[in-house]
Amino acid sequence: MCRGGRRLPGLIPVSGVVRSVAELVAAARGGERRAVARLLTLVERGGALADEVAERSWSALGGTPDESADGRRAHVIGVTGPPGAGKSTLVAGWMIRLVERGCRPAVLAVDPSSPLTGGAILGDRVRMADATAAGVFIRSIATRGHAGGLALAVPGMVRVLELGGFDPVVVETVGVGQVEVDVASAADTVLVVVTPGMGDAVQANKAGLLEVADLFAVNKSDRPDAADVRRDLELMLDLSGLTGHHREGVNDRPSITSTVATTGVGLGELADATETHLVKLSAAGILGARREERWRSEVRSHLDRLLLDSSHHLVNGLIRGSLMTGDAASYGTSPAAVARGLALLLAEQMTEHLDGVVEDDR
């Protein structure tokens, strides 16, 4: 399908005026929502402009990627849990309470892209209409081919929101059957939302849940078997305490808050628990370490994507070339041995290919 005449990525008209990245960053620092939104778009698209946004954001935030000072940085809270657990409803109600407390929260809500068409239906805002009206900044994000419950651009987008003076920044992950661990390396605090009626799911994902959770919300506590879920969870946490299965650094058992997102029950308590967690991280001297770790894992996901994209392309070529024409026979007949032989070829081709990619992005 022809899609001619799209905006050039270098020109950034906002309200009829074309603004540079530097101008947008300055406007975003002043709290202008439209500039924040446009910077989010640039970061999401990737490439040279996204790099410029990242560099200017770091310096505007008065630091370097790995600095541990938490001056102008926001509290980044990841919210994960199974599909339909009530994450969006919960986040919306909770953020409204934070606005009432004088905070300026923002939400990044991630939903999956279709692997077939690249399209996506981003539905989290449906539950967040009241939060929008209360002034919460909400941005929907499609995963755009990234696995792990987040999108590649999320950490960069968090930075733009920090620049815009938003605090906290909440990241709602894709509703996943398995609790995805990506969020653990993208946030200061991870909230896992569980609900009654999925006792088995909780049971099955026990290890994953316990590894990522700093806090739990037992949502839909208006349901009859909510007490059971809470008890199961407490039991699991007690056991994990014995085996030391919690996230390193904070020795406390994750707190559990019972909530009814639709009516607001427990949301104030949840807000308190989350703030307490940040204070504890800070007091234990590990907030900076977590943030440094966040930067490293951001580098890592970009590296993964770069390698995956180029190898995918090249592997297709190798399979079509060497393998189908029989050239690969010299590596033997064991599939694994042939693969190792091809991997060496791949490595050579990758170097060339990546040179090209890096040039293109300049």
Partner 1 sequence: MSKSPEEVGGFKNHPPIRVVLAKLGLDGHDRGLKVVARMLRDGGMEVVYLGLRQTTETIIDAVEQEDADVVGISMLNAGHLTLGPRMVGALADAGLDVPVVIGGIVPDEDLPALVDAGVAGVLGPGASADEVVACVVAAADSRG
> Least distance (Å) from partner 1 to the CB of residue 96?
14
β-strand partners of 257: 217
> Residue 64 and residue 58: Cα distance in Å, rounded?
6
User: Which of the listed partners (ligand GTP, Mg ion, partner 1, none) does 89 bind, with a CB threshold of 5 to 8 Å by partner kind?
Assistant: ligand GTP
User: Which of the listed partners (partner 1, Mg ion, ligand GTP, none) does 235 bind, with a CB threshold of 5 to 8 Å by partner kind?
Assistant: none
Comparing CB distances to ligand GTP, the nearer of 173 and 310 is 173
**230 makes contact with ligand GTP (CB under 6 A):** no
| Interface positions, 116-175, toward ligand GTP (CB under 6 A) | 124, 127, 175
Torsion, Cα of 212, 164, 175, 242 (10° steps): 10
> Residue 308 and residue 235: Cα distance in Å, rounded?
41
| Interface positions, 112-151, toward partner 1 (CB under 8 A) | 113-114, 116-123, 125-126, 129, 132-133, 137-140, 142, 144-145
**243 makes contact with partner 1 (CB under 8 A):** no
> In the sheet where 76-80 sits, what is the strand order?
137-142, 106-111, 169-172, 76-80, 189-194, 215-218, 255-258
**Which residue is nearest to ligand GTP, using beta carbons?**
175
Angle among Cα 350, 355, 361 to the nearest 5 degrees reads: 120
**220 makes contact with ligand GTP (CB under 6 A):** yes
Grouping H, G, I as helix, E, B as strand and the rest as coil, residue 18 is: strand
Interface pick for ligand GTP out of 57, 80, 88, 322 (rule CB under 6 A):
88
Per-residue binding string, partner 1, 7-26, x by CB under 8 A, is x-x---x-xx----------
| Interface positions, 24-43, toward partner 1 (CB under 8 A) | 33-34, 37-38, 40-41
Name the nearest CA neighbour of 249 among 281, 277, 274, 276: 281
